[in-house]
């Protein structure tokens, strides 16, 4: 749907999580260790906590979360609406925000491309660092989030705003 106010609110909340919280925590680890081991440890131990802490500071009618068709953490498993939206985004190779109106809420979806630093933990498993692969196997035995190529659709960040 077209709803510039909801889209702007949702994108501000998404940008806050990504640019003000997750990236500042992750990027120094990736710079220190391009193999991805430190980044993988940070994500597996802290990303969900960072997301939860961020949500505690949002208005009570809002929540931001991450999900993907090929998810790593079962806590980020998409629901049916997420799957429908992401399938459409992926099929159309669309990285523009999408606003969905539901009965009791709006959802704003921001598609994420796979960027070069992401490949350390989400790229080709034949060249991935062995320690990264071990961490993934141990912490996420049902992992689906590898073998991406740079620029491919990786997943979404969703802002949910109650009506």
Q: What sign does the CA torsion over 123, 15, 94, 80 have?
A: positive
Rounded to whole angstroms, how far apart are CA atoms 61 and 70? 28
pLDDT in tens, 1-20: 789 999 999 999 999 999 99
pLDDT by residue (tens digit) across 109-136? 999 999 999 999 999 999 999 999 999 9
How confident is the model at residue 63, as a pLDDT?
Answer: 98
Q: From the centroid of its chain, how far is CA 99? A: 17
| Phi, psi for 98 (deg, rounded to 5) | -130, 135
The three-state secondary structure class of 156 is strand
């Amino acid at each position: 749907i077209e709803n510039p106010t909801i889209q702007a609110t949702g994108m501000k909340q998404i940008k806050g999580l990504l640019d003000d919280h997750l990236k500042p925590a992750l990027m120094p680890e990736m710079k220190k260790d391009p193999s991805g081991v430190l980044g993988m440890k940070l994500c597996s131990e802290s990303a969900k906590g960072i997301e939860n802490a961020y949500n505690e500071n949002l208005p009570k009618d809002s929540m931001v979360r991450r999900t993907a068709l090929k998810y790593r953490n079962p806590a980020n498993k998409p629901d049916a609406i997420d799957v429908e939206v992401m399938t459409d985004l992926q099929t159309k190779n669309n990285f523009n925000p999408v606003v969905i109106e539901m009965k009791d809420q709006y959802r704003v979806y921001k598609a994420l491309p796979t960027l070069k630093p992401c490949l350390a933990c989400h790229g080709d498993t034949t060249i991935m660092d062995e320690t990264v692969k071990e961490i993934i196997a141990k912490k996420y035995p049902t992992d689906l989030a590898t073998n991406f190529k740079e620029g491919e659709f990786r997943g979404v960040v969703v802002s949910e705003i109650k009506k």
